[in-house]
Structure 1
């Protein structure tokens, strides 16, 4: 936008400008004049607000300045600036309200900053400009740093230096470089992990060594001859897993069980033989007692069983008399209870069925009576009563308000009394109708309930024949249950006698068999002794002595085999532990190898990163050196020269010239100082504020702003100054006018300057008048109208050839 020119400005109720004004700006030079308070500064601030969306000078004074931009007598306002380029036109706008200003269209941040810092010099900033640059910080957002970037084009070097700055401190590298901290942590973790794994590996080696020592002792005890190495673990395991001892111990266990069985047979035979003398007498008495009971009660028990089985055909009963009686009594009691409940329920259903029918008939008659009474009552009695009640309010005399007939002609009763009686009658009928409706609903519910109950009873009711059959079965069950109860003691006695007879018969058979088995048991015990390689039973040796001798022999052999099996189990446990330790050690060794490789990789990465960090620091130092050389050269050879030329031009009699002094050390933290230099040379003087007069101090600030404007590439061809000639004498003003003429006519700048002095305005109008056909001048005079509204009068001056001088020539 280096060819963009201001075209026109429309302002509505902005700051001190009341109402709406239009200011044309399409000229090479625009002079603005007005008395103090007429709105010159407001007009230039309107240009800044439209282009940037802010007013920088007001923002420095009051952060809440936005609420003061709208004129106090208005509710809304606006600023519209039009510009013209070579091919198109642009508009920049902001609207105002009581809350502040809202930018509609404006420059981007880069061009807005250029406008504020290089193209527009507010009146309030003129006296502060030197102090702002003197106190500028060294951060990238300071005005001086932004100027250096624009002036020298050091963005890439600054970005490179800023990117390499964290490399100076390894703590910053850890924060900013992805993977550095992770690599260091990974290396520390791997160091600790390798140390722990090596300790664990050493512990496993010690565990294997101790286990081999124990295995050597066990091999000696078991008589196993083998080599104890990790490679021969399979052979050692096979030797310890030999099953001969286990098979021998199993055979010995079987022999012990067989001996115990033989002992039990001998003991049982001897006990039976001791009691066999009394057995025959007891058996005869039991047999005679049971035969006596059988002759007395046998037929009766058979009859009872047949009767029970006839009544309970689906029940299986025990054969023992006592058990049969108890089971039959339980089953018959349950059957008797069930039959009794069914009989009672059947009789209750018969009785309830008749009663429910009577109750239903009564409810049906009641419902019919209610229906008849309801039919006699009018259903709209309540509505008619309400209508008549409302009609009584319109009865004033004996004339009916409905038909207009005189009621006294047909009755001696007053019309109002007659209507009131009718209302009471209709209200009573309506209330009676409601009561009958509720009563009929209750009767209907009762009828429906009784119908359901009658249907349910009819579905489950028994007829008279079935009820009689239930009574007969109940009587038979009760009679049979009573008979069993009377005979239960005799049946129990029969069961006891039968059991005693059976037991006695069995005892006789067992005693006879024990005499035979005792002789066979002696032969069996002798054969068993020979089978276990022990001496056979001698003639005079008792069963107890022989059993004790064989038991002692088997117990000693069992103890020896148990000890050997225990040693083999311990050996197998040691072998399993060694194998587990070997597998774990192998895994650890593989893990140690992998972790060592990972550690080497992390160390190699850190070494490469450290090399890159050192190279980055070298590049950073080189960047700082090149940047410092460029900054010193540009400040000394360019900016200071332009500033000196401009200042000397405006103040030719001033011996001290302001300048920037750049430190000789590194410019990484740029801290230039404002000094004054004497024209005749020598040491530098103090700051401009200490060495220059007030007028020359303003001249120094003004020339510094113009020097900064000319030192950077032209992004906007505008130079807007707000009353910059304060405290200037005539010489300064003449030189300043010549400078503005040069900037406008030779350097292609569109100059816009506001002054309040009338003579100065007329002088600048003369000095800056058009000098060639393409040149132009606009004057804007701000004043107040009769109603204090702002008025802007514009006058355009174009180039006009002087014919009088040519004619004289």
Structure 2
């Protein structure tokens, strides 16, 4: 089976409007048509059906699919169906649909075949002019040009490239961390361990310095106890003395000092007090005040108690005199009862006022009801002459146009000289006046009715406020009781104040007498306590002739001295204990830090050994990567120099035999990095020239690009033996075209390539049709002419040409 494209069906795709079917089952297919007829769209449709994309459009616009549907397509979508015969391609045609900027369907080729077709089998018109530039471009991410990637395919360097790419990450720590996170974690862990060890070393140094400082402070704190080292203190710290016994003694001494100070203060206060004469005077004053109080109780107390008892019966919360005093209890009773009396009188006054207002209101209500009755009679009299009759007669008046009554049909002229119309008008006026008076009386009656309602509401309200007879009698009796009790309280006010004054005088005299007696007893007690103070302080007892004040001051000074000594001893002990505690903490802290440092150094060494082992492996990997890159570079350089340049040069010379500058690739001779080819020209293969774009004419530059594409296609075993070229003869003269036709014939007849070419010029199309026409049995050529009808629909006119022996010219002998 031949590997050949057989047919493509296109519907509303790009500039192709409508549906066309183009046969492709021939070694050579020539497509011709004027500008805009759809030649490029036809080749783009073939690429879309095979690969699922249009690479020449995708290179410029990622959203190119939005512009693939013809603008006048009634269905709003485009479709492409491509058929082919190939051992590695499905026999079922591929159908792709473009709609709403999306491409749906499965292309005919695999991903690898699609890439080969786009790069090695298809030369779009837009690509031809930029082919050299495209092959020189490098991928910023992979740093390899399309040409270098082609050489990789050519030589089968995928495994070597995979090795180089796989080892690329190991050449730099940052790249290695991305591909091997565990290495980054271990490196970070080593940095953490280094930092931890440094931190612990500094902490150990600081801890040793603090231990030295605490040792010096401890030695200084032990000096008051006569100790030189920690060992002399003892585990129970007995070397610092019995702290508990010393604290008890300090507490006892402090209590003794307070007693001495109190005795000295008492002595100073009592030393100047009068003696027995003052006590006798105080006793006389007490007897005199007590007699006055008894006389008051005999003459005035009974009346005061009766008045307070009466007040208590009327006000239950009255404070008793025995608790607060006569004057306070009396004042409270007078205040509360006076307030109750005022409230009672005010309530009785309100009741009297309400009763009077109630009587007046009842009289007013009676008069209003009588007026209402008179108005009701007036309304009854006026009701007969209501305004309804006046209105009815007014409506009847327009019907009266003679003296005949329209109601009774009587001749009104018989009643007198007044006409019926005048009589009716006079009666209507009279009825209208009665209606107006009726409205006036009704309004007045409503006003009287509102007043009656208001008076009735006021009457009900006043009736609720008036006291019933029992309440009124009870309230009047309470007022009488309150008035009498208030009077009694006013009369006993002086007795209450006098009783409190006399009681206060008796209490004051009793207090003075008790104090004098207590002072005498205290002086005797001070004298007895001095001997006890001397015994507790371990001092000599005082003589009878000694001044007790001087003795107490001496004892107080001795107690202060003892307390000061105990306090200083306690401060020294506390300072020593704090120094011992700080020294112990410093020792423990140093031990913990040294243990942590030892453990941290062990962890640091473990992680450092692991990182070193990984770095050793990285070093070996870098060597392997460098050797792989060198091998790859050597192979690529040999292929560029010996294979590809040779094919390109041969093809270029065939199409442009007169051009002295031949395009070629130059590879760097040094360096370990990836090999990247550069385009140059050589003067007949010897002297180096500049870039082809600077050295070649436009026609030969186009020829260089075309022959580069063909050399790249011929340099490898073709996955797809197809060549699809769009208008390749731009800027070519007749010689180049003739050579190109011969080259196409060679590719088709000898190399077995299926060639599909689109051309614009009619003469060129006819020339190529003649040059590529069938030349042997079984050979075939298909010409396809594209055009547009009057409505803009695309017309496809395919013409197959088969081998015909009758048309062959033979030379006669």
TM-score, scaled relative to structure 2: 0.73
Task: Render the CA deviation track for 1:656-708: whole Å, top value 9, x for unaligned.
Answer: 754323222236343323345688x7555665567777666544432221222
Separation in structure 2 between the aligned mates of residue 621 and residue 456 of structure 1, nearest angstrom: 121
Matches within 5 A, 1:721-736: 721-725=725-729, 736=740
Q: Tell me which residue corresponds to 1:333.
A: 335
Task: Render the CA deviation track for 1:35-66: whole Å, top value 9, x for unaligned.
Answer: 56654334334545666787666788999999
Gap change, CA 1:750 and 1:44, over 3 Å in 2? same
Separation in structure 1 between the aligned mates of residue 750 and residue 214 of structure 2, nearest angstrom: 99
Gap change, CA 1:612 and 1:304, over 3 Å in 2? farther
Task: Render the CA deviation track for 1:702-752: whole Å, top value 9, x for unaligned.
Answer: 222122223456455531112334566777666645654554566664421
Separation in structure 2 between the aligned mates of residue 191 and residue 349 of structure 1, nearest angstrom: 103
Tell me how far 1:197 sits from its aligned partner: 1.5
Q: Tell me which residue corresponds to 1:381.
A: none
Gap change, CA 1:245 and 1:636, over 3 Å in 2? same
Tell me how far 1:450 sits from its aligned partner: 6.3
Gap change, CA 1:508 and 1:86, over 3 Å in 2? closer
Q: Tell me which residue corresponds to 1:630.
A: 635
Task: Give ranges in structure 2 of 5+ residues lacking alignment.
Answer: 84-88, 384-390, 400-404, 410-418
Q: Tell me which residue corresponds to 1:284.
A: 287
Q: How many residue pairs end up in the alignment?
A: 743
Q: Tell me which residue corresponds to 2:619.
A: 614
Q: Give the SS at the match of 1:721.
A: strand
Answering whether residue 547 of structure 2 is matched by residue 547 of structure 1, we say: no
Matches within 5 A, 1:111-510: 114-133=116-135, 140=143, 142-154=145-157, 157-158=160-161, 161=164, 165=168, 178-179=184-185, 182-183=188-189, 186=192, 189-190=195-196, 193-220=199-226, 227-229=229-231, 234-236=235-237, 239=240, 242-263=243-264, 271=273, 273=275, 275-319=278-322, 323-334=325-336, 336-337=338-339, 340-341=342-343, 344=346, 348=350, 463-505=468-510, 507-508=512-513
Separation in structure 2 between the aligned mates of residue 510 and residue 735 of structure 1, nearest angstrom: 151
Q: Is contact 1:38–1:784 with CA below 8 Å preserved after alignment? A: yes
Q: Is contact 1:226–1:236 with CA below 8 Å preserved after alignment? A: no
Q: Is contact 2:144–2:676 with CA below 8 Å preserved after alignment? A: no
Q: Is contact 2:626–2:672 with CA below 8 Å preserved after alignment? A: no
Return 55-64 or 203-212, whichever deviates more: 55-64
Gap change, CA 1:649 and 1:210, over 3 Å in 2? same
Q: Give the SS at the match of 1:8.
A: strand
Separation in structure 2 between the aligned mates of residue 158 and residue 443 of structure 1, nearest angstrom: 115
Q: Is contact 1:11–1:46 with CA below 8 Å preserved after alignment? A: no
Gap change, CA 1:523 and 1:696, over 3 Å in 2? closer
Task: Give ranges in structure 1 of 5+ residues lacking alignment.
Answer: 378-384, 386-391, 393-397, 400-407
Separation in structure 2 between the aligned mates of residue 640 and residue 593 of structure 1, nearest angstrom: 68
Q: Is contact 2:137–2:145 with CA below 8 Å preserved after alignment? A: no
Task: Render the CA deviation track for 1:378-412: whole Å, top value 9, x for unaligned.
Answer: xxxxxxx9xxxxxx9xxxxx99xxxxxxxx97899
**Alignment partner of 2:95 out of 91, 112, 115:** 91
Matches within 5 A, 1:534-613: 534-600=539-605, 603-604=608-609, 606-613=611-618
Gap change, CA 1:105 and 1:227, over 3 Å in 2? same
Q: Is contact 1:194–1:596 with CA below 8 Å preserved after alignment? A: no
Gap change, CA 1:544 and 1:71, over 3 Å in 2? closer
Separation in structure 1 between the aligned mates of residue 568 and residue 784 of structure 2, nearest angstrom: 126
Task: Render the CA deviation track for 1:132-189: whole Å, top value 9, x for unaligned.
Answer: 4356678547433443444345456546545655665667778987447745753564
Separation in structure 1 between the aligned mates of residue 118 and residue 55 of structure 2, nearest angstrom: 7
Q: Tell me which residue corresponds to 2:39.
A: 40
Tell me how far 1:753 sits from its aligned partner: 1.0
Q: Tell me which residue corresponds to 2:9.
A: 9
Q: Tell me which residue corresponds to 2:28.
A: 29
Q: Give the SS at the match of 2:243.
A: coil
Q: Give the SS at the match of 1:197.
A: helix
Q: Tell me which residue corresponds to 2:783.
A: 779
Return 632-641 or 206-215, whichever deviates more: 632-641
Separation in structure 1 between the aligned mates of residue 322 and residue 662 of structure 2, nearest angstrom: 144
Gap change, CA 1:337 and 1:507, over 3 Å in 2? closer
Separation in structure 1 between the aligned mates of residue 96 and residue 578 of structure 2, nearest angstrom: 93
Tell me how far 1:228 sits from its aligned partner: 1.1
Tell me how far 1:780 sits from its aligned partner: 0.6
Tell me how far 1:203 sits from its aligned partner: 3.5
Task: Render the CA deviation track for 1:608-657: whole Å, top value 9, x for unaligned.
Answer: 45434433432331231122123123323443344345446656787875
Separation in structure 2 between the aligned mates of residue 172 and residue 664 of structure 1, nearest angstrom: 28
Tell me how far 1:349 sits from its aligned partner: 7.9
Q: Give the SS at the match of 1:636.
A: helix
Tell me how far 1:465 sits from its aligned partner: 2.6
Task: Render the CA deviation track for 1:443-502: whole Å, top value 9, x for unaligned.
Answer: 89x99x969x979996x9864434443443344345434543443333222222223234
Gap change, CA 1:232 and 1:503, over 3 Å in 2? closer
Separation in structure 1 between the aligned mates of residue 476 and residue 595 of structure 2, nearest angstrom: 95
Q: Is contact 2:29–2:781 with CA below 8 Å preserved after alignment? A: yes
Gap change, CA 1:137 and 1:475, over 3 Å in 2? same
Q: Is contact 1:46–1:79 with CA below 8 Å preserved after alignment? A: no
Q: Give the SS at the match of 2:635.
A: helix
Separation in structure 2 between the aligned mates of residue 327 and residue 314 of structure 1, nearest angstrom: 11
Gap change, CA 1:695 and 1:527, over 3 Å in 2? closer
Gap change, CA 1:484 and 1:159, over 3 Å in 2? farther
TM-score, scaled relative to structure 1: 0.74
Gap change, CA 1:329 and 1:738, over 3 Å in 2? same
Q: Give the SS at the match of 1:7.
A: strand
Tell me how far 1:69 sits from its aligned partner: 7.4
Q: Is contact 2:724–2:756 with CA below 8 Å preserved after alignment? A: yes
Q: Give the SS at the match of 1:574.
A: helix
Gap change, CA 1:678 and 1:564, over 3 Å in 2? closer
Q: Give the SS at the match of 2:98.
A: strand
Q: Tell me which residue corresponds to 2:86.
A: none
Q: Is contact 2:204–2:590 with CA below 8 Å preserved after alignment? A: no
Task: Render the CA deviation track for 1:581-624: whole Å, top value 9, x for unaligned.
Answer: 34444444444445444544554455345434433432331231
Separation in structure 2 between the aligned mates of residue 22 and residue 367 of structure 1, nearest angstrom: 114
Gap change, CA 1:478 and 1:535, over 3 Å in 2? farther
Gap change, CA 1:545 and 1:756, over 3 Å in 2? closer
Answering whether residue 712 of structure 2 is matched by residue 708 of structure 1, we say: yes
Q: Is contact 1:8–1:26 with CA below 8 Å preserved after alignment? A: no
Tell me how far 1:258 sits from its aligned partner: 3.2
Task: Render the CA deviation track for 1:406-457: whole Å, top value 9, x for unaligned.
Answer: xx9789999xxx9xx9xxx9xx99xx9xx99xx99x989x99x969x97999
Q: Is contact 1:744–1:750 with CA below 8 Å preserved after alignment? A: yes
Q: Is contact 1:776–1:798 with CA below 8 Å preserved after alignment? A: yes
Tell me how far 1:114 sits from its aligned partner: 4.2
Separation in structure 2 between the aligned mates of residue 463 and residue 660 of structure 1, nearest angstrom: 134
Separation in structure 2 between the aligned mates of residue 295 and residue 61 of structure 1, nearest angstrom: 132
Q: Tell me which residue corresponds to 1:403.
A: none
Return 291-300 or 737-746, whichever deviates more: 737-746
Separation in structure 2 between the aligned mates of residue 796 and residue 733 of structure 1, nearest angstrom: 23
